[in-house]
Structure 1
Amino acid sequence: MRLASLSILLSALTLGACSSEVEERPTDEQPTAEIAPNDISVEGEERRILAFGDSLFAGYNLADHQGYPEKLERALRENGVNARVIDSGVSGDTSAAGRQRLAFVLDQLEDKPDLVLLELGGNDMLRGIDPADTRANFEAMLDELQQRDIPVLLMGMRAPPNYGPDYQQRFDALYGELAAEYGAAVVPFWLESIYEDPSLFQSDRIHPTAQGIDTLVAHTLDEVEAALPAKN
């Protein structure tokens, strides 16, 4: 059943997102020769995107060029967008950890991002953190970004049914409600395109393979492009 598979996989995904293990190169997937994003010639104003999240952005157990931010940058450039995507994914981050480091990360950037992809919450769910606390952390991060006049695309997650209907409803509602409150764009469940296909996950059945990342990029590319503010 769809709900059963969602429950199993999302539980596994949150376990993986919480991993603080040292990242290693995969043994079952060899990096493929690909053109570096910066070697794809694109004219026009550079669009800077900050990918801020946990291990699902950090590219756990993948080669440096195979993570979501890196693949997204390549896809945007192939689409004619002069994009630079900055990978700020940290394995194990909760929304509280993201809240603590966001301002520091922004302050260290040479230029203000045109867009922030905010991908957190899975580790909160794993730890059973009250969705009200998760919401408060997201509100603090969104306040910070709003004060800096930086648009946001929320990369939503879902709670599995085994967390109970109350928790599930409150957690799942977070992303859409926050998007409406702050005028942010949102991908309601950004793993939607892969969660039912085990072949798109690594042998740990937790983290996406390079092919899984390709699928995620293909299914979120339009939403990322749409979230970029109009050029000056």
Structure 2
Amino acid sequence: MLLDHFRYAAFRRRMQWAIGWVLLLAALPAAHAAEPAAPLPAAEAAPRTVLVMGDSLSAGYGMAAAESWVALLADRLAASYTDWRVVNASISGETTAGGSSRITAEVLRHRPAVVVIALGANDGLRGLPVREMRRNLARMIGASQHAGAEVLLVGMRMPPNLGTEYTRDFEALYRELADFFDVPLLPFLLEPIALERDAFQDDNLHPTPAAQARLRDHVWTTLEPLLQQQ
């Protein structure tokens, strides 16, 4: 009987030890679940976007894409305003009608904080009516503002051979639109180089790669305050 008692006691201790391990293992998932979850790393804020809607003067006609004033602007932002990026939606040959037809899709796609509208040169070279150009640019500004973006309007000037009245009305419409929509205006994109023949390619219309940094700096004077307001 005594031997049976010791055998039973040993068996009971082994069972208690085994049951203890089972209970411990069963409790581990619950204990783990009760621990507060480690906080997820904070998501990096998405960069804000400057959307440029222009023509060949902004698309970098006759040069590598990285040489255009818009690409140089992107480089400057990458160095000084790291939470900003540039999307260049400029197309060579674009008119204000083309920009007007594209603006809604572009602002919905890129959700820009700032839209730079630099169109009109091709309208003027083709002698298109100023009233149509005014309507197209007004639609672009309105659509951009409706999407919550600030707008920088970049103007253009036409040579006097198109007629005094047309040249005057063409230049004036940019000021009128800027006043009406209360947006900043850079009156003439090519102002820093307009009188320098060596700053233009052989067609005497498109600036050379060497002139692009000066155009970027010219735009920067009016663009940077918009970035700082955001």
Q: Distance in 1 between matches of 2:211 and 2:95?
A: 23
- Within 5 A, what are the aligned runs for 1:132-147? 132-147=131-146
Q: Which residue of 2 aligns with 1:107?
A: 108
Number of equivalent positions: 187
- Within 5 A, what are the aligned runs for 1:128-167? 128-167=127-166
Q: Which residue of 1 aligns with 2:217?
A: 218
Maintained 8 Å contact 1:47/1:81: no
- Within 5 A, what are the aligned runs for 1:38-187? 46-80=47-81, 82-109=83-110, 112-187=111-186
Shift of 1:203: 2.9
2:62 corresponds to which letter in structure 1? N
Residue identity over aligned pairs, in percent, reads 35
Maintained 8 Å contact 1:152/1:184: yes
Q: Which runs of 5+ in 2 are unaligned?
A: 1-44
Q: Which residue of 2 aligns with 1:208?
A: 207
Q: Whose helix proportion is higher, 1 or 2? A: 2
Q: Structure 1 residues 97, 113: closer, same or farther in 2, change over 3 A?
A: same
Maintained 8 Å contact 2:48/2:85: yes
TM-score, normalised relative to structure 2: 0.76
| Structure 2 residue matching 1:135: 3-state secondary structure | helix
TM-score, normalised relative to structure 1: 0.75
Measured against aligned partners, the alpha-carbon deviations of 1:19-62 in whole angstroms (never above 9, x if no partner) come to: xxxxxxxxxxxxxxxxxxxxxxxxx9833100111111111121
Measured against aligned partners, the alpha-carbon deviations of 1:124-174 in whole angstroms (never above 9, x if no partner) come to: 111111111110111111121121121110110012112222111111101
Q: Which residue of 2 aligns with 1:28?
A: none
Higher relative contact order (CA 8 A, sep 6+): 1
Maintained 8 Å contact 2:107/2:144: no
Maintained 8 Å contact 1:75/1:217: no
Measured against aligned partners, the alpha-carbon deviations of 1:175-216 in whole angstroms (never above 9, x if no partner) come to: 111011001111001110011112222233221112111111
Q: Which residue of 2 aligns with 1:37?
A: none
1:99 corresponds to which letter in structure 2? S
Shift of 1:76: 3.1
Q: Which runs of 5+ in 1 are unaligned?
A: 1-43
Maintained 8 Å contact 1:103/1:144: yes
Q: Distance in 1 between matches of 2:98 and 2:46?
A: 33
Considering only aligned residues, what root-mean-square deviation do their CA atoms show, in Å?
1.9
Maintained 8 Å contact 1:57/1:89: yes
Q: Which residue of 2 aligns with 1:192?
A: 191
